[in-house]
A and B are shown apart, each in its own frame.
Chain A
Amino acid sequence: MSPDPTAPAAPFTRYRLGTAYDEMFAAPQSPRSHYRRLYERLLELPADELERRQTAADQNFLNQGVTFTVYGADEGTERIFPYDLLPRIITSAEWDVIERGLTQRITALNLFLRDIYHDGHILRDGVIPADLVLSCRHYRREMRGIRLVRDAYISIAGTDLVRLPDGRFAVLEDNVRVPSGVSYMLVNRQVSKRVFPNLFDHYNVRPNEQYGQALLATLRALDPQQRPDPRVVLLTPGVYNSAYFEHTFLARQMGIELVEGRDLLVHNNVVYMRTTAGLERVDVIYRRVDDDFIDPLSFRHDSFLGVAGLMHAYRAGNVGLANAIGTGIADDKAVYAYVPRIIRYYTGEDPILENVETYVLTDDAQRRHVLANLESLVVKAVGESGGYGMLIGPHSSAAERETFRRQIEADPRNYIAQPTLALSQAPCFIDGGIEARHIDLRPYILSGERVVIVPGGLTRVALRRGSLVVNSSQGGGSKDTWILHD
């Protein structure tokens, strides 16, 4: 029997196209033009070669200690974030839309935060209900009336984009408190250059290794005194934090000190760090500690991670924080539903990147619709992130749906619902062959003197077949993201 010429060739024999947008294939065996070279290369490679390169890549991550900590597991359980060999490729034209859309969005969200913590025009104009904003878990009364340098509330954002079946990118979630994952974006690039050196050279990929310098420049711009050489530090919760590797990585990339709360103290509303050579003034803090834990005098009194009196120094204009306190209202999942209106209100423009359809459950009609259709929807707790507090209707049990139904009825403000999205799929190297897996994209946006988006982002992969959950804590992995020059 001769082989069927229409059947996919190795290593693509298990590759299936579905209803979701496929990043590589326009049709079966017909790669999109920017994926053609990668496709051909994969067909040429001997069967065991990919396996060998995957092993080498994994080893590389282990040796570098690129790990994250899993909550709930034994203390100090460190795992590698699974890395998929095959790069995800985005054309220059596609990136252009993403870049403009994200710039517009962060600009509008910063104006929104400035407005909410000062005059509240948007509330009085009835664009977004005041009680919705003021009831956000992350709304901080303490921020009212504080003047920030450059009105910079969100300096660093990591926005989750998904690709819809028609090929358009849409925003799934804004992460504007302490977004993480950028270290994986950078390490993935180091590894993929080694795994596919020739292919990398062939594709005219835009660099991303300037992220460290760009981040440092963004942070320096936050110095309230605007001195020529401000001291910037990175504040970590410490070695037990799941993102500790990233904190050490970024501090090293920027050449700044990695400090813990106990290294800092506030004296006469000025922040100092305790060194063997005496106290040294700190001007800007890139804090990777949540609002709740940052100052036991102002927020949670039982926190050992923060710095007592930091809020006073901040209010006095003696230290810059990135991100500002209280930015969490801008990524509250119920406020998210209003972001297109927020963009129109402050910029007068239509949103370049759309939202995913979202039901706000304080609205009676929307809530009734959601409760009647739980098995086809995704329900999310508004203040959570990292894939925690979620119900994925099609994959849920009746008992789980019942639990969520009761929780929604008890506290509708705390939940939103979205249709189950067909996230786009991309080729991944799985069990010796290439299969399709769902992916998303988290670019990192820096907003200092101007908005800078380093070309690329973290492409997260739902490694379990059919799964739509890409979070690292829930069995997700990642791959390098290649943004092409024209």
Chain B
Amino acid sequence: MLSRVADSLYWMSRYLERAEHTARLLDVSLQQLDQRPGDAQRRWERLLASLQSTTVDSEPLAITASLTFDAGRNESIVASISAARENARQVREQISSEMWEQINRLYLHVRSATMASIADEPHEFFRSVKEGAHLFQGICDATMSHGEGWHFIQAGRAIERASATTRMLEAYVLDRGGALTQSNDDQAWVCLLKSCTAYEAYCKVYTATIRPERVIEFLILDAYFPHSIRFAAETIQVATRAIAAATNTAQAGRVDRLAGRLRATLDYGQTDEILADLRGYLVPLLQLCMQLDAAIYQTYIAYPADQSLSA
């Protein structure tokens, strides 16, 4: 497979995941009811921190407008979906026509919306973005061969998801000065779970009693929940191994080691140790995700010519 094509598939998938993540966070935050003054402000600050947004807006609607429609802002929904579509357009012949039609439809949908047009029912709009992304994934799984290109798509989404979830947890921990005391702001933890579509899944495992350490444990270590970091790490390993097998590349060792290390960190993670120094656990995870991204790029996309020829 051409390196350029693999790169486009990978980024198409990452950008779409990013758009869905932003939509989910905005949707949850807009619907949250607050118990105390100041909660809302902290919640929006956490949201901006977890998206690494540099927006200077502080008013919820202004933040929403900026993170949804500001095409000049990388983390915005419109920018992410445009970038995903542009990558898809570059490889239109490599993806199924159904995939192209769906991503194009989603693009036209968000491009035609405005803050005024969604103001009455923002929830409906964000739901349509999430559903549009889910539909794309479903179409992708159902209509594209599950070969090398498909695995690049899986790897892109899983790396984006692992990074996004890690950043969100980090924002919550920092917000508390690193301490995880049981406070009376259960709502903030519910908000965190919902931001990962994890609230219902959490309740099935731990009942509706919200305990911060359980929330953290669930979002990091649960083996079966698709938004947990561990689940994403497993997906990354499966996808990168499939890519290595398909390409038979001698240089794939670095990607494999990083994916294995990420997975081992999560598979053998101990809840009590993690909670003892949460930030100290999260930061290396994020670094591993970034190293993986770089290693995939260096191994399959932009490797030096000499290296390939001497191999």
Contacts and interface: CB of A to CB of B under 8 A. Distances in A.
Interface stretch (A9-17, A261-269, A440-448): A261-269
B309 A239 contact: no
Question: Which label, helix, strand, loop or mixed, suits the secondary structure of the B interface?
Answer: helix
Most chain-B CB neighbours within 10 Å: which of A265, A272, A275? A275
Contacts of A263: 2-4
B308 A276 contact: no
Nearest to A252: B93
- Assign chain B's interface to a size class: 20 to 34
Interface in A373-418: none
Contact of B249 (A65, A251, A260, A276): A276
Going nearest first, the 4 A-B pairs with the smallest beta carbon separation are A277-B247, A278-B308, A276-B300, A274-B3
Contacts of B243: 276
Nearest to B311: A278
Contact of A239 (B3, B90, B246, B308): B90
Interface string B247-260: 11100000000000
Nearest to B149: A276
Nearest to A279: B308
B92 interface: yes
A257 interface: yes
15 contacts: A248-B93, A252-B93, A259-B2, A260-B4, A263-B4, A265-B305, A267-B309, A276-B2, A276-B246, A276-B247, A277-B246, A278-B247, A278-B311, A279-B305, A279-B308
A273 interface: yes
Nearest to A273: B2
Nearest to A262: B4
B6 interface: yes
A273 B300 CA distance: 12
Interface of B: 1-4, 6, 89-90, 92-93, 97, 148, 243, 246-249, 300-301, 303, 305-306, 308-309, 311
A274 B97 contact: no
- Assign chain A's interface to a size class: 20 to 34
A277 B152 CA distance: 13
Given A239-B90, A267-B306, A275-B3, 14 more contacts: A248-B93, A252-B93, A263-B2, A265-B305, A267-B309, A273-B2, A274-B301, A276-B1, A276-B3, A276-B246, A276-B249, A276-B300, A276-B301, A278-B311
B305 to A, nearest CB: 5
Nearest to B6: A276
A258 interface: yes
Given A275-B3, A276-B300, A277-B249, A239 B305 contact: no
Contact of A267 (B6, B148, B303, B305): B305
Contact of A279 (B89, B97, B309): B309
A271 to B, nearest CB: 12
Contacts of B248: 277
B15 to A, nearest CB: 17
A454 to B, nearest CB: 24
B2 A275 contact: yes
Most chain-A CB neighbours within 10 Å: which of B4, B92, B300? B4
A252 B97 CA distance: 14
A459 B264 CA distance: 65
B87 to A, nearest CB: 11
Nearest to B100: A65
Given A265-B305, A267-B305, A257 B2 contact: yes
B55 to A, nearest CB: 28
Interface in A38-60: none
Contacts of B93: 248, 251-252, 258
Interface in A144-171: none
A214 B148 CA distance: 31
A274 B4 contact: yes
Contacts of A265: 305
B90 A65 contact: no
A277 B308 CA distance: 9
Interface string A265-298: 1010000111111110000000000000000000
Interface in A224-280: 238-239, 248, 251-252, 257-260, 262-263, 265, 267, 272-279
A257 B2 CA distance: 8
B309 to A, nearest CB: 6
A251 B249 CA distance: 26
